[in-house]
Chains A and B, each alone.
Chain A
Amino acid sequence: MMRFLLLFSRQGKLRLQKWFTPISEREKKKIIRDMTNMVLARQPRSCNFLDWKDLKIIYKRYASLYFCLAIENQENELLALEIIHRYVELLDKYFGNVCELDIIFNFEKAYFILDEFIIGGEVQETSKQIVNRSIEASDMLQEDDSSEWYEVELFG
């Protein structure tokens, strides 16, 4: 099972955080600090795996963003790398050549995509196309709702 997923920039600014177990706010802040310090201190061509407390930390850098995933000890590290890669591919497909700004300005979309890919710390859908289709359908549903809202505004 995955415990948490963090995205942060090279300056250590948090862009996305997803927690799969209940943790207090204070503890979350501490973990974020620890992760950013640990990962940003790594040399460029080192191993992508770290040991931290009783978890394994898998991190990978894509352009200016670090993706940091914590998994339990019995999980497969190489597969965790694949999971990170798959998420990046999904973001890429959705935003079209995704960059950090996309994730900053559309953070709630990034969360929605994540929620279509991973639930409760486990991968729910292994096919890229199905995930993409689900997101598109949800967005359409939201637009129908939203377009109603816009109409009301015009009138009043």
Chain B
Amino acid sequence: MSPSIPLQEMIRAIRSARTQCEERGVIQRECAAIRAQFRQSDNGSRSHNLAKLLYVHMLGYPAHFGQMECVRMIASSRYSEKRVGYLGAMMLLDEKQDASLLITNSIKNDLSHSNQYVQSLALCTLACMGSAEMCRDLAPEIDRLLRASNSYIKKKAALCAVHIVRKVQDLGELFAPAARSLLAEKNHGVLHGAVILITDGVCFVLCMFQTVPELVQIMRSLTVSGYSPEHDVAGVSDPFLQVRILRLLRILGRHCETASDAMNDLLAQVATNTDSTKTVGNAVLYETVLTVLDIKSESGLRVLAVNILGRFLLNNDRNIRYIAMTSLQKIVNTDHNAVQRHRGTIVDCLKDHDASVKRRALELSLALVSASNIRSMMKELLLFLSSCPPELRSHTASGIFTAAERYAPSQRWHIDTMLHVLTTAGGDVRDETVPNLIQLITNTSELHCYTVHKLYRALLTDISQQPLVQVACWCIGEYGDLLLRGECQETEPVQVSEDDVLDALETVLQSHMSSPATRAFALTATMKLSTRITDNVELMFKIFKTGSGIQLRKFMIFFLLFLKNVLSPSVLRAAVLERMPVIEKNSGQSNGESAGAKTEPKIMVKPGETSPPQQPVNQVCDLLDLLGGSEGPAQPNPAQSTTAAGLTMNTSSAAGGDLLDLLGGFQPTPTLSVYEKNGVNLTLQYERQSDAVLTVTLTACNSTDSDISSFSLQAAVPKVCPQRRPSPHHRSVESGRRGDLDLSQSSSASLFTAFHPCPIQVHLKMRIRISYTVQGSAFQDMVQVDSFQGL
């Protein structure tokens, strides 16, 4: 073999370049020289030049200008040039390039060349990059070669046919008879090619069941009788061919009972006799196991196969353990008991150092968890969670949760397990874990004391894991009184004072590690504690002044107002902040986005339920009445500001108004627009509070840009309806932008009046006189309202 000297010189030059820039310089020079050489018509060193170009291409530089040269060299009569030309075609051309079509003719000619090595070049290239058209063109040639040539060409033609069938399915039928007859050959290479051809030409399979006895015979001769030193690899005779035949048998036996029966003995023989000390033997055993598990084999054989996989699991070689687990994963559902026998080994693989092995062991372990082994498996899984690689943590955590949910032996165990996961891998759990855990905790009322103690202790140790902190805050808010009790049957007693608890929540609020959602949880919890453990409003204020974020400030202001104005901790506060009832599963609305919304929907949704104790329910209903019949303005009207303070209103009712906003289930009372002129809108709202009282509210709104002065409202009703009416007030109604007001000023004024209801036959009517001055002109108007619908 004469080395290509110019090529090697160039390679040396490139390698000696010390920088990328220098290398690029050398390559540019060489490419320029090569291009010049290509342009010259006939020159003896063409193959060297193309070889140089291919080297440059492998380094990653563009080499497309060599494509035409490849085409020319393939057409040359010299073998050396053909060789490099075909190599270039395989490297630079693929079926998407136009130039590839140009070599079809050369390939065709070379397929019938007198020299078998030239034929082999053509076959190799066709099998590597032949496009569908080329395949169609040359398929008859290939078929001819399959039938009548020497074994050297036959084996290559067989694989070429495989490529053709992969590209053009229909041509499979063309090769079927030839493939069938090739099975009778003695040459291993040809046999190998024939088996692949049969395997991959799908249309063959239907008529190829008759080949099963032949294949079995071939296998037997390989494994039992034949020892050919040529094909022997570490004691196994031609493992490549064996594996291929086993795979074909698998396909043939997959849906066919008779075929499976015919191969049963053989598979048992191979499984028992193959030497498994080296990788080759294990490769054959592996393929045998896969075949046994896939065909309709008898149970004894299946047990044998699973036992082989069990042995693989104990092998020192990591690769073998890996593939054993991959295979067991496929059958864990169908042969569950068989796989369970090897659970111990699988769990041991969780401790392996290799990440791929760990991943497989995790999948299998999760699939093997059952009611009988849940405790021991969970111990192992939790141990694994504390030391597993980060990319597996979230998968492990969710697997543990699913398993715990399905097979938890006791609720305390379940809670303990979930808490353990949150402390170890809190950052990697999914979002729905927090509400799920909260739901679990509320459901196990006998463990509230225990749970809150545990969570409190966890909170003291570490506040970086957000889900854990969120659950802990929620629990402390709900069950803070149990925390102060100090003793709890399940854990050792510990003294916790109010200040400790509030300090803990304040730490969470202030910590930079807490996310906004966590801070919201802590805030709500502190709020709830105002009824449960302490009435220390100043302390609460102090806490509320910390923390940051616009969203949180909104809630803080609300809470501050609430605390300030709803002074008594009884009635209102207790009702709003009472213990949460048991959450039903899948009640998505109970865990809405804002922390503030958490406290009230439950009250609204279950007003008449008997599950919460009777007294709070009544309080709730009273609450509704209380707010509705009070001196507050009626419904927030979208056309006007919601904080229509009115005249003698105090801020408590404003807060009450806000509370009303929050209690979203309230029915808006009907609004009547009575007067709309000159920028003054007068609307009327009425509400029947009880049998004794009907409240009517008139609201005036200034929609001009200037002030309105000397505003006065007078109302009259028929004498039949006894009424109580305070005197109207003069008030200057300032202008202002709608919807953007604070409490002290308003651009609307409300008057209310209360009536005792009229006798039914008489409809309530009302006459309203309105007078005002705007932009220097005075106006006076009178409006009559004739019907109050719904009375």
Contacts and interface: CB of A to CB of B under 8 A. Distances in A.
Interface stretch (B51-59, B469-477, B610-618, B705-713): B51-59
A120 to B, nearest CB: 4
A146 interface: yes
B2 A146 contact: yes
B240 A82 contact: yes
In this complex, the member of A20, A126, A130 whose beta carbon has the largest number of chain B beta carbons within 10 angstroms is A126
B355 interface: yes
- How many residues of B sit at the interface, in one of the four size bands? 35 or more
A153 interface: yes
Contact of B80 (A78, A122, A126, A146): A146
- Which secondary structure dominates chain A's binding surface? helix
A14 interface: yes
B123 A119 contact: yes
A142 B712 CA distance: 115
Interface in B65-98: 78-81, 83-84, 87, 94-96
Given A24-B96, A130-B189, A79 B156 contact: no
Contacts, number: 164
A119 B318 contact: no
Contacts of A146: 2, 80
B163 interface: yes
Contacts of A82: 233, 239-240, 279-280, 283
Interface string B132-167: 000000000000000000001001100110110000
Nearest to B97: A22
B282 interface: yes
B82 to A, nearest CB: 9
B445 to A, nearest CB: 47
Interface string B206-219: 00000000000000
Contact of A76 (B94, B117, B238, B243): B243
Contacts of B95: 22
A71 B196 CA distance: 15
Interface string A115-126: 100011011111
A108 B290 CA distance: 38
A98 interface: no
Nearest to B246: A76
B230 A119 contact: no
A45 B128 contact: no
B11 A112 contact: no
A107 B58 contact: yes
A63 interface: no
Given A48-B319, A105-B8, 18 more contacts: A29-B60, A43-B354, A50-B356, A82-B280, A104-B15, A108-B84, A119-B159, A123-B192, A125-B155, A126-B231, A128-B230, A130-B189, A134-B120, A137-B117, A141-B115, A142-B1, A146-B80, A149-B78
Interface of A: 14-17, 20, 22-24, 29, 43, 45-51, 74, 76-79, 81-83, 104-109, 111-112, 115, 119-120, 122-130, 134, 137-139, 141-149, 152-153
